[in-house]
Amino acid sequence: MLRLLKNKIKNTLFSLRAAYNARALKGCRKLGKGLNIRRPVYTHGLEHVEIGNNFKCGARLKIRAFGSWGDQKFNPAIRIGNNVNIESDCHIGAINEVVIEDDVLIASFVYISDHSHGRVSGEELSCPPIERPLHSKGPVRIGRNAWIGEKAVILPGVTIGEGAVIGASAVVTHDVPPHSVVAGNPAKVLREFVTTS
């Protein structure tokens, strides 16, 4: 009898925690099951965000999808697959598209964005950065089983291949081949692996 009561309490607590977690991301276009979220979570434009099952994140995650900026209009999308683990203090921003496929591990303080404030032209440099138009060089895609190291920066227009490893503090400005290790600023391929599967 005591065992049944303990299981019932455990299941009730699990259900309450799942409901509490889901509220942190209420408004997502799609939200999977089995969330494990440390609060606070800072969000903008969740109607443009899809998150798969078994998503886990540390505290102070920022997910920001901008449908508009000043007079500009966008159709952004942030798509996060199943079994994705994002540690604390990460920032994901989109005006175009950011896709994080299944089973990706992202360490703390990682910045992923498909856009920037302006195009770095002489005319735009004369106004404050916050007032510059947002510009995207293209979507960001992170392939399944990729591992993004601490304080890495993933810039617009980059595709990270399946199973790739991004070294700590790397600044990724170009596509990363599947099953490779990159590091540095700008990130360069240190090693590529041939898989047998």
Q: Per-residue pLDDT for 195 more than 80?
A: no
State the residue for tokens 């799609």.
Answer: 30
117 belongs to the catalytic site: yes
User: What confidence score (pLDDT) does residue 22 get?
Assistant: 65
Q: Which two tokens stand for residue 172?
A: 């990724």
pLDDT tens digits along 3-50: 777 777 777 766 666 666 667 898 999 999 999 999 899 999 999 999
Closest by CA to 46, choosing from 91, 2, 13, 78, is: 78
pTM surpassing 0.85?
yes
Q: What is the mean pLDDT of the chain?
A: 92
pLDDT at 129 over 70: yes
- Say if residues 142 and 99 touch (Cβ distance below 8 Å): yes
Q: What's the confidence (pLDDT) of residue 66?
A: 97
Residue 82: which of 104, 60, 61 has the closest Cα?
104
Choosing from 44, 117, 174, 179, the catalytic residue is 117
What proportion of the chain, given as a percentage, has pLDDT over 90?
A: 75
User: Across residues 92-99, what is the average pLDDT?
Assistant: 98
